[in-house]
Amino acid sequence: MLKDMLYIGLGGFMEVKERVEKELKALEEKGKLSKDDSKAFLKNLYDKGEEEHNRHYELMTKALKDVIGELGLATKDDIKNLEKKIDEKL
């Protein structure tokens, strides 16, 4: 089910991407949009996508850290501290 949702999401994204590119090209050909404006529009979309990706990445990272904390799982820092203590005793 997760795989299906991923494929549907990616398929939808690709469809929208192709339609936007097609419409931009049509507007360029009609002279209603310059090539520079078209590139600027696509760059703006890219930048917004990158910002949204970073925002979601930060949210997911925080959520995972919270879950790890709630479950009482050892973190990398916990393991490093234990290794250091073991090394000191040897």
Per-residue exposure over 35-61, b if at least 16 CB sit within 10 Å of its own CB, e if not: eeebeeeeeeeeeeeeeeeeeeeeeee
**pLDDT tens per residue across span 25-51:** 999 999 999 999 999 999 999 999 999
Report residue 3 as tokens: 């795989």
pLDDT band at 1 (very low <50, low <70, confident <90, very high): confident
pLDDT band at 90 (very low <50, low <70, confident <90, very high): confident
User: Which pLDDT score is estimated for 77?
Assistant: 93
Mean pLDDT of 2-23: 92
Domain ranges of the chain: 1-33, 34-90
Share of the chain above pLDDT 70, in %: 100
